[in-house]
């Protein structure tokens, strides 16, 4: 009887796991379909994101698209990814599905400890990477680059960012 119970448990777990995969696939499919159906709205969304002033970046996390580069801005001392990150990355994810790869570059300002800032820039880049993973981008399609300190006239809000670029 124990063998029968183990076999039944195996079947039940297999069915539960299959249903879970199906539901996740369905949710992702619906999300991608909806983002594709809003393609006409994307340029307006992108234009609004590009037009967002850097003053907003100083207040909290934000995201904008600038010449095909998706730029994530962060509040000082924080690594919280901006709301709307997934929506801003839709076109980039489509390009990766078409065979391209991504570079994820973290930057930091010159205030405070260089070591602490470099670690924070790394955490920010990994947060953006995690959003991309959640959208289905494989690890081998992304390159995390070493954090860089912004020099030469960049203000602190501009320096606290992560850039996602296609390669």
C-alpha to C-alpha distance for 2 and 50, rounded to whole angstroms: 63
Q: Are 1 and 55 in the same domain? A: no
Q: Are 71 and 98 in the same domain? A: yes
Q: Are 9 and 51 in the same domain? A: no
Q: Are 98 and 18 in the same domain? A: no
How many structural domains comprise the chain? Answer: 2
Per-residue pLDDT of the chain (167 residues; tens, 9 = 90+): 555 666 666 555 556 445 444 446 555 556 555 555 433 333 434 433 433 434 444 467 888 888 889 999 998 888 999 998 999 999 999 999 999 999 999 988 878 888 898 899 999 999 999 999 999 999 999 999 887 776 655 677 788 899 999 98
Q: Are 32 and 45 in the same domain? A: no
The burial of 52, by beta-carbon neighbours within 10 Å (0-12 exposed, 13-18 middle, 19 or more buried), is given as middle
Q: Are 61 and 125 in the same domain? A: yes
pTM of the complete model: 0.62
Q: Are 28 and 16 in the same domain? A: yes
Q: Are 8 and 21 in the same domain? A: yes
Going along the chain, which residue ranges are E strands?
62-66, 69-73, 102-108, 142-149, 161-166
Q: Are 102 and 142 in the same domain? A: yes
- Burial call 131-160: b when 16+ CB within 10 Å, e when fewer: bbeebebeeebbebeebeebeeeeeebbbb
Can you give the residue range of the structural domain that contains 14?
A: 1-37
Q: Are 69 and 136 in the same domain? A: yes
CA atoms within 13 A on the CB side of 149: 13
């Amino acid at each position: 009887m124990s063998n029968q119970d183990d076999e039944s448990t195996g079947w039940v777990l297999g069915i539960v796991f299959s249903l879970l995969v199906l539901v996740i696939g369905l949710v992702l499919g619906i999300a991608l379909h909806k983002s594709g159906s809003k393609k006409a709205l994307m340029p307006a969304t992108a234009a609004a994101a590009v037009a967002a002033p850097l003053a907003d970046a100083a207040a909290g996390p934000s995201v904008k698209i600038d010449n095909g580069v998706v730029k994530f801005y962060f509040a000082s001392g924080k690594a919280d990814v901006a709301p709307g990150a997934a929506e801003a990355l839709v076109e980039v994810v489509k390009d990766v599905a078409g065979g391209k790869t991504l570079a994820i570059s973290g930057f930091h300002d010159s205030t405070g400890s260089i070591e602490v800032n470099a670690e924070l820039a790394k955490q920010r880049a990994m947060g953006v990477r995690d959003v991309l993973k959640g959208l289905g981008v494989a690890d081998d399609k992304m390159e995390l680059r070493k954090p860089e300190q912004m020099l030469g006239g960049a203000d602190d809000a501009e320096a606290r960012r992560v850039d996602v670029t296609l390669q």
